[in-house]
Amino acid sequence: MILTEPTPNPNSLKFLSEKKISSIGTEEFQKKNNKNINNNFIKELLNFKGVELVLLSENFLSVKKTDDVSWEVLKPMVISHMNDYFEKNESPILDKKLNIKSTNIDSDDTVKQIKEVLDNKIRPAVANDGGDIKFISFKDGVVTVELQGSCSGCPSSLMTLKKGVQNLLCHYVKEVKSVEAN
């Protein structure tokens, strides 16, 4: 059964599944990169009229749409696409067997602390809204992150970034002075 939840972004909707959607963590896919995507489920979903971005996480999928398509039209199509996949497949849409993720070893303790706060304190809250936050860099006290999924282009994302993410990172990691979006 696929359930949906609204997100703070009116052009994004969160689709929850009782089945595991991703066994490799959270990944974002954009329509503009569709030719480089090997996963048929994601390729087909991005080919739906109005779908511009898809974010897959362990137990949910977020879809960001364009203004010219309504959720009344798109929502049943996404649910049907997900149900069809899970009727024919036992494995998650993104599976470890099919995707090899490189592990990045960080020698910098500050970067490790930043990633730990992002993973443990911020990512779960952002995931509740159908999005994700990706660490990009840390230089001269400034953390650069990328907001993904429902958070990408959301009207309240700047407030989330400055009031939530920046405040938490500054509190837990003394070297952090500010947070910027990529």
Q: What is the pLDDT of residues 50-98, one digit of tens each?
A: 999 999 999 999 999 999 999 999 999 999 999 999 999 999 999 875 5
Give pLDDT tens digits for 139-152.
999 999 988 888 87
- The answer to whether residues 130 and 14 touch, using CB atoms and an 8 Å cutoff, is yes
Domain 109-181 annotated CATH 3.50.50.60: no
Domain ranges of the chain: 2-88, 109-181
Same fold, 2-88 and 109-181: no
DSSP assigned state of 146: E
Q: What is the rounded CA–CA span in Å between residue 139 and residue 13?
A: 34
pLDDT of residue 163 exceeding 50, the answer is yes
* pTM > 0.75: no
Lowest mean pLDDT among 11-15, 70-74, 85-89, 159-163: 159-163
Place of tokens 């364009």: 66
- The mean pLDDT value of the chain amounts to 88
Fold assignment, 2-88: Ribosomal Protein S8; Chain: A, domain 1 (3.30.1370)
Place of tokens 């049907």: 80
